[in-house]
Structure 1
Amino acid sequence: MKHPLLNRLALPSLILSLSLSLSLPAWGAVFSRIPTADPLVALTFDDGPHPGVTERILDLLREKEVKATFFVVGRMAVKSPDLVKRMADEGHTVANHTFYHNNLTTLPPENMELEWKLCNDAIEGITGRRPRFGRPPGGQYNGEVLRATKRSGLTTALWTINTADYTGKTPQQILRRIERNLRCGAVILLHDGPVETVEALPEIIDFIRRKGYRLVSLDEVIPPEAS
């Protein structure tokens, strides 16, 4: 049964439309942008690691001296632990994107928590650090998902700009979605997998910097007490 506040406030729409940091005592912290007036922007990459692509992303980030956030899928992480360890060793935030990448809203609460736990354990086993942030696959969530996320010790991290890079868009189209929507505190959703994302990445970074923004990882800007 949905929480009555969820029905009255239409929480997902409220969060995404306001793009504000929220702390909900019943459900845990949720944010879709960095709560700041400073010129900060976060690049986030979902769905990896993908051997052959992840290395290229990491190489570009290292070359450009950028820290990013990777929402890794647990079953992918255990297949390529060297890539996840490299993310952490190079100063990126490694975050939880569930273990099997299921739509959490279709699962019973105990299975939601299992998805988060298995991925938490995989990341901690590889990096030595338990993740702080979780992103539900497809951005699909409800009150039960948020409660399960909180019980799993995670803060729900959504996004401000969806580049739709997973839909076959060209590098130029990916960049244009960012150009149209960039603002202070933006959390940009990209994916670790599409070659077009790799091809767009240098121009994305250069554009963001030309506009006067500093690129940061979520660990850098969301204090532990807020998650």
Structure 2
Amino acid sequence: MRKLRNMLLVLTVALLWCALHTPKEGTAQALVIARGDISTKNVALTIDDGPHPGFTNRILDILQGKGVKASFFVVGRMAAVSPEIVRRMLAEGHTVGNHTHYHNNLLSLPLENVHIEWDMCSSTLKTITGKAPRFARPPGGNYDASVLEVARKSGLTTVLWTANGADCTGISSGDITKRILSRTGPGGIILLHSGVEATIEALPGIIDTLKAKGYRFVTLDEMAGPVPTPQRKELRSASSESPTKRMD
């Protein structure tokens, strides 16, 4: 069963590669980041959803106390309500990314609405911070090649993950910790969520354990490196956990 799953994942990535690497005149090449450089012990901690005043600030407090930088994928309409939290993220050295404006399942929307979701969130974040976000993550990992292409046209690089804490499912902080630690390796991208008490409970131990193992936490800006030129064509290696595709 595992071999079949891996084969299907490889096939899906190959199909996406073909879709994303078809040149379009006058446009930059789409990019997807699913993992960082596996030759380094760098990991990127990413936090989706929010900002939630009662949760996100506590996450930021933990990160500040541990000396760790992370990347936050925020929801545009929630950022508009709590802009001071978004500004705090940037002021403390974190990366702020686009998690759409209304947190809809992008596979359930017509493509013109997908475009609106990305652009409204980017516009909101630019109004708050003075600059548009570089990275995006589709809610629930629900995407296909057309969703990625719309993100690219909106100037966004889509970021997936390698270690999903499944913290939105109601599992305990201990189970969240076990999932993350068992799935995190060099170049890993960790997925956790704001708005979950168990995540806040698990986060300090996750950070301490990975640091003790020699891992260094980096932002997605650090992991991805400089903004690519329009001629650069790249698709990073596939995530070990395949998000949902439109074809499912």
Per the normalisation by structure 1, the TM-score is 0.89
1:24 has 2:26 as partner: no
Does the CA contact (< 8 Å) of 1:47 and 1:193 recur in 2? yes
Shift of 1:181: 1.4
Instruction: Give the gaps of 5 or more residues in structure 2.
Output: 1-9, 23-28, 230-248
1:147 has 2:149 as partner: yes
Does the CA contact (< 8 Å) of 1:105 and 1:140 recur in 2? yes
Residue number in structure 2 paired with 1:101? 103
Instruction: Give the gaps of 5 or more residues in structure 1.
Output: 1-7, 16-21
* Counterparts of residues 166-185 of structure 1 (less than 5 Å): 166-185=168-187
* Counterparts of residues 76-115 of structure 1 (less than 5 Å): 76-115=78-117
- Which whole-Å CA distance do the structure 2 matches of 1:189 and 1:205 have between them? 13
- Which whole-Å CA distance do the structure 2 matches of 1:226 and 1:190 have between them? 27
Aligned letter for 2:135? F
Aligned letter for 2:32? V
Residue number in structure 2 paired with 1:126? 128
Shift of 1:191: 0.1
| CA separation of 1:64 and 1:221: change in aligned 2, threshold 3 A | same
Residue number in structure 2 paired with 1:221? 223
Q: Once the two structures are aligned, what percentage of the paired residues are identical?
A: 52
Does the CA contact (< 8 Å) of 1:29 and 1:226 recur in 2? no
| CA separation of 1:188 and 1:23: change in aligned 2, threshold 3 A | farther
Shift of 1:9: 3.5
Query: Quick check: 94-103 or 177-186, which moved more?
Result: 177-186
Does the CA contact (< 8 Å) of 2:19 and 2:145 recur in 1? no
3-state SS of paired residue (1:33) = coil
Query: Quick check: 25-34 or 163-172, which moved more?
Result: 25-34
- Which whole-Å CA distance do the structure 2 matches of 1:45 and 1:226 have between them? 24
- Which whole-Å CA distance do the structure 2 matches of 1:127 and 1:164 have between them? 30
3-state SS of paired residue (2:125) = helix
Shift of 1:36: 3.9
3-state SS of paired residue (1:203) = helix
Does the CA contact (< 8 Å) of 2:20 and 2:149 recur in 1? no
Does the CA contact (< 8 Å) of 2:33 and 2:159 recur in 1? yes
Residue number in structure 1 paired with 2:208? 206
- Which whole-Å CA distance do the structure 1 matches of 2:176 and 2:83 have between them? 29
Query: Quick check: 28-37 or 177-186, which moved more?
Result: 28-37
Shift of 1:129: 1.7
| CA separation of 1:14 and 1:209: change in aligned 2, threshold 3 A | farther
| CA separation of 1:212 and 1:29: change in aligned 2, threshold 3 A | same
Shift of 1:23: 10
Shift of 1:109: 1.4
3-state SS of paired residue (1:212) = coil
Per the normalisation by structure 2, the TM-score is 0.82
